Amino acid sequence: MKRKYVLLAILALFIFSITAIAGTATSSYAADIVKLKVAGISAPEYRGTKSLYAIKEEIEKKTDGRIVLDIFPANQLGDYTQVFEEIRRGTIEMGLIFLPSQFDVMLEIGSLPYLAQTGEGMQKQLSPGSYIYDIIDNSLDRLGVKLLRIYGDGFIGVGTAKKPANPTKPGVDKDTLIRIAPVAVYRETATDLGYRTTTIPYADTYSAIQTGVCDGWIGGSSQINYLSFRDVIKYYIPYNCLFDQTAYIINQKLWDSFSEEEKQIIQEAVNKQADKSFADSEAEDLEYQAKLQEAGVEIIKISDQERQELAEYIQKNTWPKLAEIYGEETIEKIRESM
């Protein structure tokens, strides 16, 4: 009988050991999986959001599922200012968001008006190796955030319910009141184009145009004007004066924890989507201008010569005002880089 109890004890110890080893192996495997919460601001159908899913697929495939991306589009994790702060802390790991300039005013330097007039030109200005990219990269580095790349969302125009006077002539009164974001680059650009401006929350812009509180707005591409404002605007002027952009960013400490191979996989996946975004933005702009026309919105066309005159006027008159914010040396180096 005693021998029977000894055998049972040995068997129990054996089973316990096997279970413990299996549990340890499972825990170790689970610990090897890195899950990243990725915040997006665009709706699921926007190409920016689609780019995140393409990045997710490539990273998960090339890391054999060790790095997993959980995508949260449409501000599900909070607005971009909140998300940025969470990425700094590491409570959200990664995002494709606007860069909030309240943390550093230099983060809005990529929105300088008429940096370029084509998607290819903007890609050169907002990609690694450019003077502007280095400014943004260094600013984020000081904030504990790694800049992976800048994403091209598209050129910005003006959508209005009334036809502006002299729409293609810079510095001439347009007899039109438009909503602007409370940012100097928008205020000075719109004013020097000849518009009267007012600051209204974006969420109230549609009803403000609808009720006549303002005549229109500046701050969105043809796509945004079509998807969100086509029922209240009658004219769209593709000034291409400002370029809408977001940024792929990740917590710096997390980035530093990855192996060089993992960093390369992540960076290559992001690079593909970032490079693609600038060409896509031009094609998308033409596509949605056509859709605006189909919806009854008149496109007030601007010739290449007129746009060049607009660009020269803004660079001559608006940039010196913005130099008070970004620094004269910075503006001068940007001129040289162009």
pTM: 0.85
Per DSSP, what are the bridge partners of residue 67?
A: 34
**Average pLDDT, consecutive stretches of 10 residues, N- to C-terminus, the chain (338 residues):** 45 45 38 90 91 98 97 94 96 96 93 93 96 97 98 96 96 97 92 96 93 96 92 97 96 98 98 96 95 98 95 96 94 90
Closest CA to 115 of 317, 311, 275, 286: 311
Distances (CA, A) of 41 to 137, 253, 254, 283, 335: 21, 23, 22, 21, 32
pLDDT of residue 272: 98
Q: How many residues does the chain have?
A: 338
Q: Which residues contact 138 (CB under 8 A, 6 or more apart)?
A: none
pLDDT of residue 9: 45
pLDDT of residue 182: 86
pLDDT of residue 20: 44
Per DSSP, what are the bridge partners of residue 95?
A: 39, 249
Rounded to the nearest angstrom, the gap between the alpha carbon of residue 8 and the centroid of all alpha carbons in its chain is 65
Q: Which residues contact 315 (CB under 8 A, 6 or more apart)?
A: 113, 114, 335
Q: For each of the domains in the chain, give its residue range(s) and CATH number, in order of start.
A: 32-337 (3.40.190.170)
pLDDT of residue 152: 96
HSE value, Cβ hemisphere, 13 Å, CA-based, for 9: 6
